[in-house]
Amino acid sequence: MQRIHWVMNAVARAFAIVGGAVLSALILLTCVSVTGRAINTILHSDAVQGSMGKLADALLATGVGPILGDFEIVEAGIAFAIFAFIPLCQITGGHATVDVFTSAFPTRVNRFIQMVADALFAIVLIVIAWRLYEGMMSKLGYGETTYLLQIPVWWSYAASLAAAIAAALVGIYVAVVRVIEFLSGHGVLSIGGGGDQ
Give average pLDDT by consecutive 10-residue segment, the chain, 197 residues. 90 98 98 95 92 89 92 96 96 83 87 94 98 97 95 96 97 95 82 47
Q: Are 178 and 114 in contact (CB under 8 A)?
A: yes
Going by the DSSP 8-state scheme, the letter that residue 66 receives in this structure is P
The structural domain count of the chain equals 1
Q: Is residue 194 part of a domain?
A: no
Q: Is residue 28 part of a domain?
A: yes
Q: Is residue 193 part of a domain?
A: no
Provide the whole-model pTM: 0.86
**Residues near 174 by beta carbon (within 8 Å), at least 6 away in sequence:** 90, 91, 118, 121, 122, 189
Environment class of residue 114 by beta-carbon count within 10 Å: exposed (0-12), middle (13-18) or buried (19+)? buried
Q: Is residue 46 part of a domain?
A: yes
Structural domain that includes position 52: 2-184
Q: Is residue 123 part of a domain?
A: yes
Q: CA–CA distance from 173 to each of 12, 83, 177, 178 (Å)?
A: 12, 17, 6, 9
Q: Is residue 189 part of a domain?
A: no
Q: Is residue 192 part of a domain?
A: no
Closest CA to 83 of 30, 146, 20, 151: 20
Q: Are 112 and 182 in contact (CB under 8 A)?
A: yes
Q: Is residue 173 part of a domain?
A: yes
What pLDDT is stored for residue 190 in this prediction?
A: 66
Q: Are 73 and 150 in contact (CB under 8 A)?
A: no
What pLDDT is stored for residue 125 in this prediction?
A: 98
Q: Sort residue 14 into left (φ over 0), alpha (ψ -120 to 50) or beta.
A: alpha
